[in-house]
Amino acid sequence: MEEERPSMLPFSTSFDPSNPLESLEKLVEFIGKNSNFLIKNKAEKDITTAVTAAIAKERLRRTEKESVIMTSKSETQPEESKEKISKKAAKKEAAKLEKLRRRQEKEEETRKTASMSVEDEDDEYSSNYGNVNLSELPDPKARKWREAVEGKEWTDVSDLVGEMVGSEVLIRGRVHTSRLFFVYLRQSGSTVQCVAKQKNMIRFLKQLSNESIVDVIGVVSLPKDPVTVATQQVEIHVRKVYCLSRSLPQLPLIVEDAARSETDMHYFKKDGTPAVRARILQDTRLNNRVLDLRTPANQAIFSLTCRFKYTFAELLVSEDFIDINTPRLIGGTSEGGCAVFSFDYKGQPACLAQSPQLHKQMAVCGDFQRVFVIGPVFRAEDSFSHRHLCEFTGVDVEMVIRKDYTELMDLVERLFLPTFTKINDMFSKELEAINKQYPFEPLKFLPKTLLLTYEEGIQMLKEAGKEVDPFGDLNADSERKLGQLIREKYNTDFYILHRFPLAVRPFYTMPCEDDPRYSKSFDVFLRGEEIISGGQRIHDPELLEKRARECGIDVKTLSTYIDSFRYGAPPHGGFGMGLERVVMLFCGLDNIRKTSLFPRDPHRLAP
C-alpha cells in the first residue's frame, strides 16, 4: 500500500527570512525523505542534487569569509585580548566546521536517497511500464512496448463488460483523472477504472498528466463495489502500461470541468454552504476546441451528426436520387442576395456559393431526374444569432415534379420520419450522453406530418394576439410563438407551412396560378424554428428573367443559368437545409456552435 502523502510541508510554518539558506536546506531534506511523492524523474533528481551541492558550496564560502573577517579583527585588537579572542574564535570555528561536515554528510545521504527513489526498485517489473518515445530510435521502452502489444487484439473501452471478467485485454485511452491508486482512462466518451499494485507502477501512473495517451494491458475484473465514477462497470488490473504521448500538465481547460451540466455546476461545501463551480464560457471552449471536443456530449453530438448525414443520403439513394458535386466558386450570386463572400477570380468578379441551387437545377435540366448535394455553404450575413453561421453543411435536393409541388413535401416526410425513428431507436446511448450535459425533451412528431398553409399559420398567430404582416416573412419570434401554439394544439414539434407570399421567396420560385401573390413554396419547422426552405422552381426562361429583374438582379451574371432553360426544361423543385441546425434542434441545444465542429461566424476564423 502506498504511503500517505504529507498534508503539510514541515518548513512551511517555520520559515526564517533572516536565514533563507537554512530554510532551503530543510526543503531539500524534506524532498529527500519524501522522494517517492516529489521526485518523478532523472531531471528532477539532478536538480535536487545540484541544489544540495550549491548549498554546501555556499556554506563553505560563508565559513571562509567569516574566518577572514575574524582574522582581520584579531589583528586590530590589543595584544592582551588577542589570545583570548583567538581561542574563542578557534573553538567557534571548529564547531562550525563540524556542523558543516555533519550537514554535508546528511545532504549526501539525502542525495543518495533521491537518486535511489527515481530508479526502479522492482527491477523485475521495470520493463512493464514507462514512457515510449517512438520518434527516437532505438528506445528500449519502445521495444518493450512493441513486444507487449505484438499479436494482441485491441479492445474499445466501450466494449469492456462483465462477460469479459478474467480476460486479458489491450486498451488505449487518455488519462482522465486519478484517485489514490486508481487511474481512470477515457476513450471517446467511455471511461474505465484501472488499478495497479506494483509500487513504482503506481507512482508512474500518478505522475502522468491528464489527457496523456497510454496503452494498458491488464485483466478485466469485477470490483466489489459498483463503479460510480466511470461508464464501464468493470475495472482493469494493470499488468503493463506505457505512455505514448504526454500532455502538458497545465491545460487551458479541464475536460472533466467542460463536461459538467448546469446542475453539476452547483454543489455544497463540507460545511454545508452552497457554492458554484467556475463555468467554462463558450469562447474558451471554441478557442480550445480540441480539448472541448473530448467531452462525452460532444463526442455524441458529432456521432449523431454523422448518422443524420448518412441516413439522409441512404434514404435519398433509395428514392433513386444521385449524389452530385457542385462548384463552390461561382460568378454572380447563387440566390440573388447581397450577403455573399465576393473576391477577384483571375480578374473576374466571383463569390462563394450561397447554395448549390442554380447548379442542381441545371443538373435536372441535364436529365438527371433526381439529385442531391451534401457540402459546405457560405453566407456572409452579419448575423450573431444562436442559429446562424457563415459556413455550414448544406443538404440540398432537386427533382423533377410530375404533377404538383406537394410531391416535395411528401419526400420531406419520407426523409425525416424514418430518420427521427432510427436515431431514437439505434442511438439512445449518444442521446443519453447529450441529455446528461444538456437536458432536453424528446422530439414530438406525428405519424403523418402536419401540413398548414401560410395563411393558416398567420391566423393562429393573430388569434393568439400577435400581429403579423400577412404578406411578410416570419421573424424568429413569430416562428417560436407559432411553434408553441402548434405544439399545444397538435402535440408535434415537426410541421410544414406552405404557400408563402411570393415577395419573401427567391426569384426562381414558381408563383401560384390561382393567386400570384403566393408561391408554390414551403418551410419545414422543428421545435418552432425553420430548418428547410423549398418549393417549385420557374422553368420558363422568360418568366425567370422577369422575376430576376423584379428582384434587382443583373441578368447578365445569370446568363448560363437562364440559358439552360432555353433547351427544354422539365417542371422541377427542391429544398435545402443546414445539417448543423437540424441536429441542434433535434437535440434541443441552445446554440448552433455546439453542433459545428469548428464554427465560422462573423467574428470567428479560428481555430
Catalytic residues: 379, 381, 387-388, 530, 533, 581
Reported as half-sphere exposure (CB side, CA atoms, 13 A), residue 398 has a value of: 29
Closest CA to 502 of 543, 464, 467: 543
Beta bridge pairs of residue 496: 451, 524
Could you tell me if 389 and 596 are in contact, meaning their C-beta atoms sit under 8 angstroms apart? yes
Q: How many residues does the chain have?
A: 607
Kindly state the cell numbers that stand for 37: 511523492
Cα–Cα dist 537/556, whole Å: 20
b/e map 304-317, b = 16+ CB within 10 Å: bbebbbebbeebbe
SS3 385: coil
Could you tell me if 193 and 184 are in contact, meaning their C-beta atoms sit under 8 angstroms apart? yes
**341, 342, 343, 346: CA torsion to nearest 10:** 120
Containing 176, the helix (H) or strand (E) segment is: strand 168-179
Reported as half-sphere exposure (CB side, CA atoms, 13 A), residue 488 has a value of: 8
Instruction: Say how many C-beta atoms besides its own lie within 10 A of residue 82's C-beta.
Output: 14
Closest CA to 198 of 142, 120, 144: 120
Closest CA to 494 of 473, 522, 464, 524: 524
Kindly state the cell numbers that stand for 486: 402548434
DSSP 10: G
Cα–Cα dist 37/30, whole Å: 11
H helices present in 41-183, as ranges: 42-76, 79-117, 140-149
Beta bridge pairs of residue 186: 174, 191
In degrees, rounded to 5, the angle at the alpha carbon of residue 169 between the alpha carbons of residues 163 and 174 is: 110
Strands, E, within 367-501: which ranges? 370-378, 391-400, 450-453, 494-498
Kindly state the cell numbers that stand for 427: 442511438
CA 352 vs CA 256, 280, 347, 564: distances in Å? 39, 34, 16, 21
Q: Write the Ramachandran bin of 510: left for phi over 0, alpha for psi from -120 to 50, otherwise beta.
A: beta
Beta bridge pairs of residue 275: 267
Cα–Cα dist 576/530, whole Å: 11
Cα–Cα dist 29/51, whole Å: 11
Cα–Cα dist 85/74, whole Å: 7
How does strand 529-536 pair with strand 572-578?
Answer: antiparallel
